[in-house]
């Protein structure tokens, strides 16, 4: 700002009027007018504003928001000239932390204060701290999409929705526990009730409400989930993305690599349950009965009088260790057991049947002698010929492993999609029984990640597979409980099976499956549900419609926690997979919105996004790579700088 000379030859700065709106006065109130100069600091402007407002309250959380630039003026030592603020600037004096309505994965809504001035990533950290959820990098905020105007009756129903208020709680610096919950949750009955909402399963929604919820019926509709989910950018503040005070947002697990604790287990169970019920992930009929039985069992235990008491079980003292067998690991991680690298690598040998589908052929399964060592499967005509050359040798590193199981029909098959120059080579292996299937399936899953049976997770993987198969077994001789009429089957199975079977047909099947899980305690039952969800072939895959460089048609790109999957849009078949462990670098051309990735052996992949912003794809890939670098130490400090570098792109700075 130019000055002028006084009679004593001193330079005086020209003053001018600056108008500031005050949030507490309301949108219709006249703004406060201050006389300032270009050398006035932002802190001085706020002091003058508080004096002019003449309202006695705590203003320490307030700051200035520049509407035209959509920018917070948080550097109070900067002058108006340094920010470039002139008399026509529209400034708002408003609180940095404001209440928002947060829709949790269990469909319950809590009201709490969140930061509107920090990047969304920091806001999520603050929310998770309030809700007692560790590892906030697993979650993200979504803005609720605008819905069409509803009838007055529906509008009235929405207003009756219960909201749990946490805006009044005061968090202490030290994390203290009271009755197994953070101390600030035990101060009032309302806060205690809210903690139960977070950590204990709640009754299901009415069938008529579930019927209105979006369900993807095709692969294309699954890609539309990411269009409906308006992910907030992690590197920009909430107010910069038009999230208003008391606005509705979703808190959701964005990436499928988890570390467990009590509140997270419950919220993760709820998100998994809705993914199954809304058919966001496919499962077989037998698997659906297991999911229904587990839900029925969890609902029963959650309604017991002592279920609301968040007491610690001795077996739950260290969930990260006790439940490590359920951890979804990225390939390429170092083995946790030093002995893994020096012991002799085990191998599997047995007679299996193999089938290689080909066009215009009716040939079925043929039996051969198989040897599985390291990541290689070799097969021979007989055991006696195993010392010679194999008929074929298959390297499973980087392949897709899909279960093809029907427990009732004693069908135990493993579908392998093995990378080949022309695409993916399809192979089916058929096992004779559950134990053989579990051994070979676990070995195939590890080999696909570049690991061997010497890995410490092999035996736990075998037990997990056997446990899931055991839950699918029928017990025709078991005595069913007498409360069959109390089962609400519509809230336990997806609409596909509601249409296929009547309630009186589903009830005995669910109760029969319940006999296999009836002895599980509450937390273990939730973990079994999550484990079964993780065992599904499409678990953790997020779909996008893309156009590959040089291609003439749209295709599907699936992003999983350890690989990228190229899928034919019309048929749904896997065309190619690329593992993150083979990735050398990736970048985004923000001008033409194209993602380019370089893998080992000079393999280059480039694509542009059709149905979503390439920023979301970039965040998914960078986020998964970041999460593969973290440890399970409870006191590990979150490396925010690394997270922003991997996910922020051109906004990282």
Element (H, E) at 414: strand 411-420
Q: Which CATH number fits domain 542-647: 1.10.760.10, 3.30.365.10, 2.30.29.30, 3.40.50.2300?
A: 2.30.29.30
| 26-30, 341-345, 464-468, 580-584: least confidently modelled range | 341-345
User: What pLDDT, on a 0 to 100 scale, did the predictor assign at position 191?
Assistant: 81
Handedness of CA 450, 456, 462, 468 (dihedral sign): negative
> Would you call 124 exposed, middle or buried from its count of C-beta atoms within 10 A (0-12, 13-18, 19+)?
buried
pTM (two decimals): 0.76
Sheet holding 62-66, edge to edge: 32-36, 16-22, 91-95, 62-66, 71-73
Instruction: Say yes or no to pLDDT of 57 above 80.
Output: yes
Q: How far apart are CA 278 and CA 263, in angstroms?
A: 23
Alpha-carbon gap, residue 141 to 126, rounded angstroms: 12
pLDDT at 322 over 70: no
Pick from 246-250, 508-512, 558-562, 585-589: least confident: 246-250
Residues 6+ apart with CB under 8 A from 250: 102, 103, 141, 142, 143, 144, 229
Quick check: 154 and 161 in contact, CB under 8 A? Answer: no
- Environment class of residue 231 by beta-carbon count within 10 Å: exposed (0-12), middle (13-18) or buried (19+)? buried
CATH of domain 347-453: 2.30.29.30
* Mean pLDDT in residue range 191-214: 77
Average pLDDT over residues 273-284: 89
State yes or no: pLDDT of 352 exceeds 90: yes
Helices within 413-457 (DSSP H only): 434-448
Residue 302: pLDDT band by 50, 70, 90 thresholds? confident
**Which pLDDT value is given to residue 65?**
93
Q: How far apart are CA 82 and CA 94, in angstroms?
A: 21
Of 33-42, 475-484, 565-574, the range with the lowest mean pLDDT is: 475-484
In the chain, ranges of CATH 2.30.29.30 domains: 347-453, 542-647
Q: Could you give the CA distance from residue 513 to residue 4 in angstroms, rounded to a whole number?
A: 88
Pick the CATH number of 19-95 from 3.30.230.10, 3.40.50.620, 3.10.20.90, 3.90.480.10: 3.10.20.90
Q: What percent of the chain has pLDDT over 70?
A: 80
pLDDT, tens only, 219-260: 777 776 665 556 777 777 888 787 776 666 777 776 655 555
Helix (H, G, I), strand (E, B) or coil at 610: coil
Parallel/antiparallel/unpaired status of strands 62-66 and 71-73: antiparallel
124: Cα within 13 Å, side-chain hemisphere: 27
Indicate the pLDDT class of residue 336, thresholds 50, 70 and 90.
very low
Q: Kindly report, as residue ranges, where domains of CATH 3.10.20.90 are found in the chain.
A: 19-95
pLDDT tens digit sequence for 468-511: 888 888 766 555 554 555 688 888 999 889 889 988 889 999 99
Q: Output the pLDDT for position 537.
A: 85
Report CA Rg, the chain: 29
* Res. 105: pLDDT tops 60: yes
Best CA proximity match to 631, nearest among 334, 298, 331: 334
pLDDT at 13: 59
Length of the chain: 653
Out of 154-158, 193-197, 381-385, 547-551, least confident range: 154-158
Q: Which residue has the higher pLDDT, 318 or 26?
A: 26
Distance separating alpha carbons of residues 125 and 117, to the nearest angstrom: 13
Residue 540 is given by DSSP the state T
Task: Fill in the DSSP letter of residue 486.
Answer: G
Residues 332 and 450: beta-carbon distance below 8 Å: yes
Q: SS3 of 623, please?
A: helix
Q: Give me the residues paired with residue 108 across strands.
A: none
Tell me the pLDDT band of 159, cut-offs 50, 70 and 90. Answer: very low
Task: Please give the DSSP secondary-structure letter assigned to residue 7.
Answer: T
For residues 546 and 555, the answer to whether their CB atoms sit within 8 Å is yes
């Amino acid at each position: 700002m130019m000055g002028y000379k006084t009679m004593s030859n001193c330079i005086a700065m020209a003053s001018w009027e600056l108008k500031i709106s005050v949030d507490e006065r309301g949108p219709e109130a006249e703004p406060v007018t201050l006389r300032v100069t270009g050398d006035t600091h932002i802190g001085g402007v706020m002091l003058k504003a508080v004096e002019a407002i003449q309202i006695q309250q705590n203003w320490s959380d307030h700051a200035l928001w520049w509407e035209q630039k959509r920018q917070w003026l948080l550097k109070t030592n900067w002058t108006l000239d340094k920010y470039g603020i002139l008399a026509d600037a529209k400034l708002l004096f408003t609180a940095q932390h404001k209440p928002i309505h947060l829709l949790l994965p269990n469909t319950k809504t809590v009201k709490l204060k969140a930061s509107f001035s920090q990047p969304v990533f920091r806001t999520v950290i603050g929310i998770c701290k309030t809700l007692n959820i560790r590892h906030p990098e697993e979650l993200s905020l979504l803005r609720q999409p605008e819905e069409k105007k509803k009838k007055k009756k529906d509008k009235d129903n929405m207003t009756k929705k219960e909201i749990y208020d946490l805006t009044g709680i005061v968090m202490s610096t030290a994390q203290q526990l009271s009755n197994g919950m953070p101390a600030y949750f035990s101060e009032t009955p309302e806060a205690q009730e809210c903690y139960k909402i977070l950590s204990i399963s709640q009754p299901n929604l009415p069938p008529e409400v579930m019927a209105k919820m979006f369900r993807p019926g095709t692969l294309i509709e699954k890609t539309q989930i990411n269009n409906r989910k308006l992910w907030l950018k992690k590197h920009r503040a909430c107010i910069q993305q038009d999230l208003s005070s008391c606005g509705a947002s979703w808190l959701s697990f964005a990436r499928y690599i988890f570390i467990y604790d009590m509140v997270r287990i419950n919220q993760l169970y709820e998100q998994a349950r809705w993914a199954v019920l809304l058919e966001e992930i496919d499962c077989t009929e037998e698997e659906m009965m297991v999911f229904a039985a587990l839900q029925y069992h969890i609902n029963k235990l959650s309604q017991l009088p002592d279920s609301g008491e968040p007491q610690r079980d001795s077996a739950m003292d260290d969930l990260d260790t006790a439940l490590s067998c359920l951890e979804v690991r990225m390939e390429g991680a170092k083995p946790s057991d030093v002995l893994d690298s020096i012991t002799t690598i085990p191998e599997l040998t047995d007679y299996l049947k193999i089938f290689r589908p080909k066009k215009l052929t009716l040939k079925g399964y043929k039996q051969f002698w198989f040897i599985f060592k390291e990541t290689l499967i070799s097969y021979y005509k007989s055991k006696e010929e195993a010392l010679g050359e194999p008929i074929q040798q298959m390297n499973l590193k980087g392949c897709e492993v899909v279960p093809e199981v029907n427990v009732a029909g004693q069908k135990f098959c493993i579908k392998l999609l093995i990378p080949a120059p022309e695409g993916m080579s399809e192979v089916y292996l058929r096992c004779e029984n559950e134990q053989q299937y579990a051994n070979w399936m676990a070995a195939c899953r590890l080999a696909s990640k570049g690991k061997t049976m010497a890995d410490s997770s092999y035996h736990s993987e075998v037990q997990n597979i056997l446990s899931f198969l055991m839950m699918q077994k029928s017990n025709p001789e078991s005595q069913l409980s007498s409360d069959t009429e109390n089962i609400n089957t519509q809230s336990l199975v997806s609409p596909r099976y509601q249409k296929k079977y009547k309630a009186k047909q589903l009830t005995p099947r669910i109760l029969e499956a319940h006999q296999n899980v009836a002895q599980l305690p509450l937390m273990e039952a939730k973990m079994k549900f999550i484990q079964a969800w993780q065992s599904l072939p499409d678990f953790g895959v997020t779909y996008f419609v893309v156009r590959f460089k040089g291609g003439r048609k749209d295709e599907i790109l699936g992003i999983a926690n350890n690989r990228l999957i190229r899928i034919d849009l019309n048929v749904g078949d896997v065309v190619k997979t690329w593992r993150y462990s083979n990735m050398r670098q990736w970048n985004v051309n923000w001008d033409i919105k194209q993602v380019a990735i370089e893998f080992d052996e000079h393999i280059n992949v480039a694509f542009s996004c059709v149905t979503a912003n390439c920023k979301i794809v970039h965040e998914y890939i960078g986020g998964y790579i970041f999460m593969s670098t973290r440890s399970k130490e409870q006191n590990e400090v979150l490396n925010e700088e690394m997270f922003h570098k991997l996910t922020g792109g051109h906004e990282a700075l």
